[in-house]
Amino acid sequence: MVSRLLRCRFGVSCGGSPETSGTRQCLPTTAQRSSACLAPIGMLFAIMLYGSNKAYLYCSVAFLQFMKEANVVLVFLFSAMCGLQFINRQRVFVIAWVILGSTLCVSGELNFVFIGFMIQGLSQFAECMRAVIAEIVLSGNDFKLDPMSYTMFVAPVCLLVLVIGNALIWEQAVLDDLAVWWPYLIPNACIAFCLNVTIAQVIKETSAVGFIITGVVKDIALVVFSSVVFHDLITMKQWLSFTVTLSGVFFWSFMKINPNHPIIGSFEKMLGVGWGPFPGASLGTKKGLDETAPLIPAKSV
């Protein structure tokens, strides 16, 4: 609703293509073309919202953030399946690195609750799939929606799914809680709108993988905050495992930013890149191995 009001009143656009920026007449056509992608995004968004909030009833904030570090791996694998990313042995090694750290974090949880773990896992699966499909809609050759239009199209689907879900599990206590907490819910909803537009902008300008990596700083802050403020019990094993996971995520970013660095060269030699029956290719080559270079070729006009 907010997106529609801003677009209709001010023509607000956030870096969209000529198809969607500065004109309202083309929005229905864009919506028809991209409905096959936007509807699943809205449904996945609703599943992610419900699951991520439900998981807090069973697990600590720190534990859930430990699990979310695996999102980098999930998004990359989904992106590779869609032809948006390139797989090589260097990235597979770092993926295994991140998985190892995340697994150790989860296994070190003292108050492990399986149902909370499963709900959070479902939420993360939905979030990663949503991010990959959003990249296709925001940056693909067929759509290239701007973030404001993207939010306007996705939000109603998400609302519809959540309304149906609430109707199935409705409790009268919901209205009682609403009467108490509405002064907090309204500003929270406004912040959530700004966050959704910002997330869409980040995915559009970078990629789904880039968006997940930017969330590492948030994860660090939340783990520290939950430990200091909420006094969540975090074992030394989990701190060390979290450090292993973060180092893998940061090394992933380092490979992307500076593939010609001597450290990356030594890392590739350790993996046997450039020799043997399967030599592979160095990340520093110019042969289209940049992780932002899609395997799906651009359509000729």
Range ranked top by mean pLDDT from 89-98, 173-182, 244-253, 255-264: 173-182
Whole-number Å distance between alpha carbons of 199 and 73 = 19
Averaged pLDDT of the chain: 77
pLDDT tens-digit map of 192-217? 999 899 999 988 887 888 788 777 77
pLDDT tens-digit map of 40-52? 999 999 999 999 9
pLDDT score of 183: 92
Whole-number Å distance between alpha carbons of 14 and 166 = 32
Helices of type H across the chain: 2-10, 27-55, 61-68, 71-81, 89-107, 114-139, 147-168, 173-205, 208-228, 236-257, 262-270
- Cβ contacts of residue 178 below 8 Å, gap of 6+? 185
pLDDT tens-digit map of 154-169? 999 999 999 998 888 8
Q: Write down the pTM of the prediction.
A: 0.71
User: What is the DSSP annotation of 220-237?
Assistant: HHHHHHHHHTS-----HH
